[in-house]
Amino acid sequence: MSGPHISPTIADLRAQVKDWRRQGLSVAMVPTMGALHEGHLSLMREALSRADRCIVSIFVNPAQFAPTEDLDKYPRQLERDIERLAEVGVQLAFTPTPAEIYPAGFATKVSVAGPSAGLETDFRPHFFEGVATVVTKLLLQAAPDCAVFGQKDYQQLCVVQQLCRDLDIPVEIIGAPTVRDEHGLAMSSRNAYLDEAQLTTARKLNVILRTASSAISRGADPEQEAAKAGQALLDAGFRSVDYVAARESGSLGPWQPSAEGRLLVAAWLGSTRLIDNVEIAAVA
């Protein structure tokens, strides 16, 4: 089993893509921060189903971490990640250093309004500017036909879709379904921080969300159900809840009963912050 070509520089990445284009091949991209799990691999399989070649970027982006956050302890396992890319059949791994992405003198930031308002921004005001900046760079560096992002990071997906629409970046942004373990817990690199007792608690998150979503879709008041879900998380053993909120699926504006929506959550379990979301069906 041959592994992917490894491109540590933008110049090498572009040379590989240019060669594929000469051959008339289509290209998909999956941006990641590494520590790859089955959720990531599902994005790559989706990418490979849509294009002849798949690029996976592995880059822990310092611009989206605040000084108090877990940049230094974020799991890094590049050798194992490359093995996993080979298992799926990914053709290229883009593995730049921070200096390659943000060279000396770098002074530009990309800010997206609209779907970035509230939710994550209320607690991590730096986050989406860091995401939007690095995603813009990655899409311009690789120039893929499409890029696949997971719906687990639902607000991020909406921000990236808005970014590409507004800046006329000719890349189709595809949202792939959240991959969950057998207990319903959304796959996340940060799950590695949880011990067995915490994992048992974490697996209640999706159940609580789905209970609230079902009640809302049957006509219950969304704010009341969100508050009940937040209290249920605390009762289940979560340390604190940043938000539980019902929003419209596309704009992330306030949810209306006639529209499909998302119930989104961010909650702390010990020192680990977990996020998730589930669909809210339009009220019949």
Among positive and negative, which fits the CA dihedral 7, 11, 17, 23? negative
Sheet holding 261-269: strands in order across?
Answer: 240-248, 261-269, 272-280
- 189 assigned to a ligand binding site: yes
- State yes or no: 175 annotated in a binding site: no
Report d(CA 145, CA 251) in Å as an integer. Answer: 24
> Is 5 annotated in some ligand binding site?
no
Give me the catalytic one of 5, 40, 126, 183: 40
Q: Is 38 annotated as a binding residue?
A: yes
Q: Is 35 annotated in some ligand binding site?
A: yes
DSSP per-residue codes, 2-43: ---EEE-SHHHHHHHHHHHHHTT--EEEEEE-S---HHHHHH
Q: Is 126 a catalytic residue?
A: no
Residue 33 labelled as part of a binding site: yes
Is 37 annotated as belonging to a binding site?
yes
Residue 187 counted as an annotated binding residue: yes
Cα separation of 214 and 276, whole Å?
16
203 is in an annotated binding site: no
Phi, psi of 159 (to 5 degrees): -65, -45
Binding-site residue numbers for ATP are 33-40, 150-153, 179, 187-190
Binding-site residue numbers for (R)-pantoate are 64, 156
Binding-site residue numbers are 33-40, 64, 150-153, 156, 179, 187-190
Residues recognised as catalytic: 40
Binding-site residue numbers for beta-alanine are 64
